[in-house]
Chains A and B, each alone.
Chain A
Amino acid sequence: MRSIDLTKTPLRELNASLHEQKDGTNETEWEVLNPRGQHAIAVGLDAPVTVTVRGSVGYYVAGMNKHATVIVEGSAGPGAAENMMSGKVIVRGDASQYAGATGRGGLLVIEGNASSRCGISMKGIDIVVKGNIGHMSAFMAQSGSLVVLGNAGDALGDSIYEARLYVRGSVKSLGADCIEKEMRPEHHEALAALLAKAGVTDVKTSEFKRYGSARKLYTFNIDNADAY
């Protein structure tokens, strides 16, 4: 295992070393010590490596991740795993706002709570939050799934497109054009697969409600002006 201590090694050197790893690298296990809230740790990875960050991180950890697994043994600042393409990012603690923003693939697991705008503009990423999520989550969410084991804040799924939202607890309010939808067998199946991928074994899919787009704002209509 390569161990990099960010009190001794500059961030630039860490990310450059990680970018040198290509598909088939035999340096697959990395740990980052003393992250101390630094921003942009392990961003732009493009190889099947596993990076364990031992502590809390600042903004944009694992941003634009491809193929790699990044584990944060602490909490994450804003924009964790933003625009992730593939791979897996696990935050053991809480995540600040915009977690998983614009993500296009892969799996983001937040074991604690996520703040506001979780999954904003998501485009294919799957996000599983074991705690609660804040307001305006899944705003303009285009594709992918957001699974919340706890509660959701105000205006969930405002202006949502085709993303699927599954919430086990309460939803404080739904945003414009977001409605509760029927959980059909295929949704139970898809949710079960997501929970299994995230290592969640102690909840049943029947405990969740599904939310998605009413598709009423997809084309302009002056009589919907209140919602614009």
Chain B
Amino acid sequence: MSYQNPPTTPRKSATFDDYTLSEIRRAAQTGIYDIRGAGAKRKVPHFDDLLFLGASMSRYPLEGYREKCSTTVTLGTRFAKKPIELKIPITIAGMSFGSLSANAKEALGRGATIAGTSTTTGDGGMTPEERGQSEKLVYQYLPSRYGMNPDDLRKADAIEVVVGQGAKPGGGGMLLGQKISDRVAEMRTLPKGIDQRSACRHPDWTGPDDLEIKILELREITDWEKPIYIKVGGARPYYDVALAVKAGADVVVVDGMQGGTAATQEVFIEHVGQPTLACIRPAVQALQDLGMHRKVQLIVSGGIRNGADCAKALALGADAVSIGTAALVALGDNDPALESEYEKLNTVAGAYDDWHEGRDPAGITTQDPELAKRLDPVRAGRRLANYLKVMTLELQTIARAAGHNHVHNLEPEDLCALTIEAAAMARVPLAGTSWIPGQGGL
């Protein structure tokens, strides 16, 4: 009688999982760190870990479709002569021409304009297509200053001084040679086809005291008309926001680690910065401690996907949210209809993030004229507008259910948390308890 040992089920390491192993092999083979687009993909505490309580005995709801639930937001009420009035508290985040095609930038402008909100330039200057199609355009003032000029500054409706972004707080931009077309090279005053590394730090100021003087200069150049935003990555939100207020911001944008980028080292995206959920309460606390909550507006971004996320961010104290990745998906990014083409790029729809390679089959994150032609800016703009309107209806649905006639009346008391982590970060009670971890008491 033959005897065999009972087989042991092959067991893979939780530490050395398939992804980790593939990364070690890839690094060994290529000698380069992994560069990719989008934001953190790891699971982190997020808005899904919060729930709204809804109306009950102590609060009555508003009637959907009949009772008004306003969504307007005014940004830049502190110093600017011409604050920005938006119909909805959802803006389009900064994304560069260079990382995106001109058609994609135009589509973002069209969609935002139909929905009554603003869009934002990026690390590559302002294109006429974008300005022409964007009723409200925020002009980013970045460390690289590519394409920076006073005429575009004066054409903008607001100026956003970018100190950092959630995907890479402390990192500069990257645009690899494949995407430096003639037009992109000319706008950035760079040779065609080189790997371009944007500076991570502004060339002519360091620290909040300098920034205060820089903002004075920008205001003087634009005759104090434009709201000035300061955008920070989710690093030290309490102090960053307090210092942004001190430096003279009209609006502060806080971008958590799920916020996307066109191209950055994977190690940076996944290991630097805090989750969006962890950034909001410290940011709001800073504004409250300075007596500036609702006077300096707070925009939160990084992983906002639907009206519920927006409602939760507003309930925690934000004045508006901003979307980037979600807007690209609305335009057509990562669409399963293109699955066969994603397969050719060794990926699948939903996971495609090699935006820096410029081979996007959806024609969005590319400078290849043939691929870029695939995106019809009018149709894509309409898709974005539809999506923004759905988000707004979702936001209103929740606000009405909580009994609020303006979405800014949402408050932390409308929320509970599903996990201890989310309860601690959002500073709302764990569901079924009155316990807010870190706030003392049980």
A residues contacting B by CB (< 8 A) are 11-12, 15-16, 19, 39-40, 43-44, 46, 58-60, 63-64, 66, 78-79, 82-83, 85, 98, 101-102, 104, 117, 120-121, 123-124, 139-140, 142-143, 159, 161-162, 218-220, 222-223
Instruction: Give Cα distance in the complex from A123 to B217, angstroms.
Output: 20
User: Is B92 located at the chain interface by the 8 A CB criterion?
Assistant: no
A145 → chain B, closest Cβ, in Å?
14
Residues of A within 8 A of B150 (CB): 44, 46, 64, 66, 83, 85
- Contact check, B31 vs A79: say whether CB atoms are below 8 A apart: no
- Contact check, A143 vs B189: say whether CB atoms are below 8 A apart: yes
- A101-B203 contact in complex given A39-B216, A83-B149, A218-B195, C-beta closer than 8 Å: yes
Instruction: Say which residue of B197, B204, B221 sits within 8 Å of A78 (CB atoms).
Output: B204
A8 → chain B, closest Cβ, in Å?
18
- A40-B216 contact in complex given A64-B149, A83-B149, A220-B195, C-beta closer than 8 Å: yes
What is the chain B residue whose CB lies nearest that of A98?
B204
- Contact check, A142 vs B189: say whether CB atoms are below 8 A apart: yes
Q: Helix, strand, loop or mixed for chain B's interface?
A: loop
A64 → chain B, closest Cβ, in Å?
4
Instruction: Give Cα distance in the complex from A7 to B224, angstroms.
Output: 21
Sampled A-B contacts (18; CB under 8 Å): A12-B220, A40-B220, A59-B210, A59-B217, A63-B221, A83-B148, A102-B145, A102-B148, A104-B148, A104-B189, A123-B145, A142-B189, A159-B197, A161-B190, A161-B191, A218-B194, A222-B31, A223-B31
- Contact check, B217 vs A40: say whether CB atoms are below 8 A apart: yes
A104 → chain B, closest Cβ, in Å?
7
B35 → chain A, closest Cβ, in Å?
9
Q: Helix, strand, loop or mixed for chain A's interface?
A: loop
B184 → chain A, closest Cβ, in Å?
14
- Contact check, B203 vs A60: say whether CB atoms are below 8 A apart: no
- Contact check, A43 vs B203: say whether CB atoms are below 8 A apart: no
Residues of A within 8 A of B224 (CB): 12
Residues of B within 8 A of A79 (CB): 204-205, 214, 217
What is the chain B residue whose CB lies nearest that of A139?
B203
- Contact check, A120 vs B217: say whether CB atoms are below 8 A apart: no
- Contact check, B213 vs A40: say whether CB atoms are below 8 A apart: yes
Q: Mark B369-398, 1 if CB is under 8 A from A, else 0.
A: 000000000000000000000000000000
User: Is B48 located at the chain interface by the 8 A CB criterion?
Assistant: no
- A85-B204 contact in complex given A44-B221, A104-B189, A220-B195, C-beta closer than 8 Å: no
- Contact check, A121 vs B217: say whether CB atoms are below 8 A apart: no
Residues of B within 8 A of A82 (CB): 203-204
Residues of A within 8 A of B199 (CB): 121, 140
- Contact check, A120 vs B213: say whether CB atoms are below 8 A apart: no
- Other than the given A59-B210, A104-B149, 16 more pairs (CB < 8 A) read A11-B220, A12-B224, A15-B221, A15-B223, A40-B221, A43-B221, A44-B222, A46-B150, A59-B217, A64-B221, A79-B217, A83-B148, A83-B150, A102-B204, A123-B145, A161-B191
